[in-house]
């Protein structure tokens, strides 16, 4: 049995409810400014487009042309990434005339939709202006890797600008920065944030990504954003996230394990759909059909991490499935994975929710913000049953993400059919409006008061 073997290092675990960032969309071109270096990726099977068709964001859409120090991981880095096969090597002085850079058809078609047509170049100074010189007022997220800013470009377009912390550059480029750009350069999916490129300027390391304007899933569950998510909207979000992870595991050139699936890394659009973000901990699987796992140091967020991965240092795609199971429980209970303010019996959401499921008390596990009705109860019970499979102690007992998506599709179908039946039943009977208070007074001589009430038997 072949596998990637390296000596495990001490775990890197993010704090429980660390916020990610919000991000919106566009396309890219090369920077002629000597003040910063902007890189893009020339993908396979792409044809160079005439210069007149390519804006700045047309060039850096879908990313990067890496220099060797970015593409190559350190020798002692157990999370080694091979550089993408089609990377065009470039230097800051050659970028201005490099005609090999191009953008995909999808990014070209999205250029007009995203409102980024006509941008000729973007320098580090442009990024400073877009963020108000990295003003605190434009901060939309914080993380271990850096700070994320909302940036408004000179043509009015909005993007998210992720600025790496300078203090974490112990040597060369920080690994999370490399992980993110190399992973994002390989993916394109409706439910994953879009990547436009990255910028190097002196000791500045900046990633340019899609801006999703409606905050994180965690903010919605906490009531900090929106008007509360109904169970149907939560089902849509579950399915969106399942599709995103299924794509990473199954449909990329090399399978990708996200390693940090959590509600703070799920961004919500204005239409209440989900996009998965933050690929700093992502791991691209080695091309070895006989490999069963990757031996690597532990990374992730407390409360979401696969216990088997923590104890064995063996990472598989089922580790993402475990995290997804925790996310499902968040969506139906509204709780964080670890609730420090709760009594010991309720502190760990997984244990508490599964106890309620076993006892047939699903209604007690529901998020108090959700409506209590038969269709909602049906959804919560079925989702908790799926979540129980996802958080099974061993990876062999967990379903694939594709299977999770299929189950959730059936749950959503059942939910809508159940709702339609209930609506039809309610409309089939004409019930006259009744003034209950007036009837009590006229027919029974009973007045409403604070210390008595009238109970009518069925």
Written as one string, the DSSP assignment of 272-304 is S-EEE---TT-EEPPS-TT---EE---EEETTT
Tell me how far apart the terminal alpha carbons of the chain are, to the nearest angstrom: 68
Q: What is the pLDDT of residue 180?
A: 87
Please report which confidence band the pLDDT of residue 169 belongs to, taking 50, 70 and 90 as the band edges: low
**Mean predicted confidence (pLDDT) in 73-91:** 34
217-421 is classed CATH 1.20.1530.20: no
Cα separation, 246 vs 401, whole angstroms = 5
Does 58 have pLDDT greater than 90? no
DSSP 8-state assignment for residue 17:
T
CB 338 within 8 A of CB 351: no
Cα separation, 213 vs 140, whole angstroms = 10
Half-sphere exposure of 419 (CA within 13 A, CB side): 11
212-237 residue pLDDT tens: 999 999 999 999 998 999 999 999 99
Three-state DSSP at 105 gives: helix
Nearest Cα to Cα of residue 159 among 18, 14, 56:
56
CA 425 vs CA 373, 378, 398, 419: distances in Å: 14, 18, 39, 10
Alpha-helical segments (H) within 165-293: 175-184, 217-221, 231-246
DSSP 8-state assignment for residue 72:
S
The answer to whether the annotation marks 166 as part of a ligand binding site is yes
CB 256 within 8 A of CB 249: yes
Cα separation, 70 vs 68, whole angstroms = 5
CA 198 vs CA 151, 193, 194, 438, 455: distances in Å: 14, 14, 12, 69, 68
Cα separation, 337 vs 334, whole angstroms = 10
- Give the strand pairing for 12-14 and 299-301: parallel
Which has more confidence, 155 or 270?
270
Does 282 have pLDDT greater than 50? yes
CB 53 within 8 A of CB 108: yes
Mean model confidence pLDDT for the chain: 74
Q: Count CB atoms within 10 A of the CB of residue 2.
A: 10
Does 347 have pLDDT greater than 60? yes
104-136 residue pLDDT tens: 323 322 333 444 443 336 788 889 999 999 999
Nearest Cα to Cα of residue 245 among 352, 401, 98, 365:
401
423-452 residue pLDDT tens: 777 665 555 555 655 665 665 555 555 555
CATH fold label, 20-209: Phosphorylase Kinase; domain 1 (3.30.200)
CA 320 vs CA 257, 429, 454: distances in Å: 7, 48, 54
Task: For 150-167, give one letter per residue: b (16+ CB within 10 A) or e.
Answer: bbebeeebbbbbbbbbee
**Bridge-partner residues for 58, per DSSP?**
28
Q: Which residues are catalytic?
A: 260
Choice among 67-76, 169-178, 282-291 with the minimum mean pLDDT: 67-76
Cα separation, 394 vs 364, whole angstroms = 28
Domain with CATH 3.30.200.20 in the chain: 20-209
Choice among 143-147, 202-206, 320-324 with the minimum mean pLDDT: 143-147
Domain with CATH 1.10.510.10 in the chain: 217-421
DSSP count for the chain of H helices, then E strands: 14, 14
> 83: which residues sit within 8 A by CB, 6+ positions away?
66, 71, 72, 182
Q: What is the pLDDT of residue 366?
A: 96
Contacts 24+ apart (CB under 8 A), 180-183: 180/145, 180/207, 180/278, 180/279, 180/280, 180/282, 181/63, 181/64, 181/66, 181/70, 181/207, 182/66, 182/71, 182/81, 182/83, 182/84, 182/284, 183/256, 183/279, 183/282, 183/284
> Dmax over Cα atoms in the chain, in whole Å?
92
Cβ-in-10-Å burial (0-12, 13-18, 19+) of 346 comes to: middle
Alpha-helical segments (H) within 115-206: 124-130, 175-184
């Amino acid at each position: 049995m072949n596998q990637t073997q390296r000596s495990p290092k001490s775990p890197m675990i993010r704090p429980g409810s660390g916020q990610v960032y919000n991000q919106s969309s566009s396309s890219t071109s090369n920077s002629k400014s000597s003040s910063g270096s902007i890189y893009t990726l020339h993908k396979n099977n792409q044809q160079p487009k005439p210069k007149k068709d390519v804006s700045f964001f047309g060039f850096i859409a879908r990313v990067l042309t890496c220099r060797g120090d970015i593409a190559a991981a350190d020798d002692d880095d157990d999370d080694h990434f091979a550089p993408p096969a089609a990377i065009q090597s470039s230097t800051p002085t050659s970028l201005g005339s490099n005609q090999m850079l191009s953008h995909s058809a999808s990014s070209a078609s999205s250029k007009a939709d995203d409102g980024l047509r006509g941008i000729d170049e973007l320098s580090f100074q442009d990024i400073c202006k877009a963020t108000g010189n990295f003003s605190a007022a434009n901060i939309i997220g914080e993380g271990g890797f850096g700070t994320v800013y909302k940036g408004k470009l000179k043509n009015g377009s909005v993007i998210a600008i992720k600025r790496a912390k300078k203090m974490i550059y112990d040597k060369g480029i920080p690994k999370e920065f490399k992980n993110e750009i190399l992973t994002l350069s390989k993916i394109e999916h409706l439910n994953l944030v879009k990547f436009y490129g990255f910028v190097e300027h002196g000791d500045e390391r900046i990633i340019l990504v899609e801006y999703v304007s409606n905050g994180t899933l965690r903010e919605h569950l906490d009531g900090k954003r929106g008007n509360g998510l109904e169970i149907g909207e939560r089902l849509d979000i579950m399915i969106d996230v399942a599709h995103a992870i299924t794509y990473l595991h199954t449909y990329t050139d090399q399978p990708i394990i996200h390693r940090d699936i959590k509600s703070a890394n799920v961004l919500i659009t204005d239409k209440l759909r989900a996009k998965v973000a933050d690929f700093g901990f992502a791991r691209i699987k080695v091309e070895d059909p006989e490999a069963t796992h990757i031996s690597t140091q532990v990374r992730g967020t407390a409360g979401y991490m696969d216990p088997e991965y923590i104890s064995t240092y063996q990472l598989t795609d089922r580790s993402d499935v475990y995290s997804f199971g925790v996310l499902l429980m968040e969506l139906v209970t509204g709780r964080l994975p670890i609730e420090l303010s709760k009594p010991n019996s309720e502190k760990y959401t997984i244990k508490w929710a599964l106890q309620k499921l076993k006892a047939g008390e699903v209604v007690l596990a529901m998020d108090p913000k959700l409506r209590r009705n038969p269709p909602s109860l049906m959804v919560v019970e079925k989702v908790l049953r799926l979540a129980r499979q996802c958080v099974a102690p061993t990876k062999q007992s967990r379903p694939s993400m594709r299977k999770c998506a299929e189950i959730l599709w059936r749950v959503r179908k059942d939910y809508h059919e159940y709702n339609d039946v209930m609506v039809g039943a309610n409309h089939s009977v004409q019930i006259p409006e009744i003034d209950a208070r007036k009837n009590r007074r006229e027919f029974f001589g009973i007045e409403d008061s604070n210390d008595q009430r009238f109970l009518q038997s069925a």
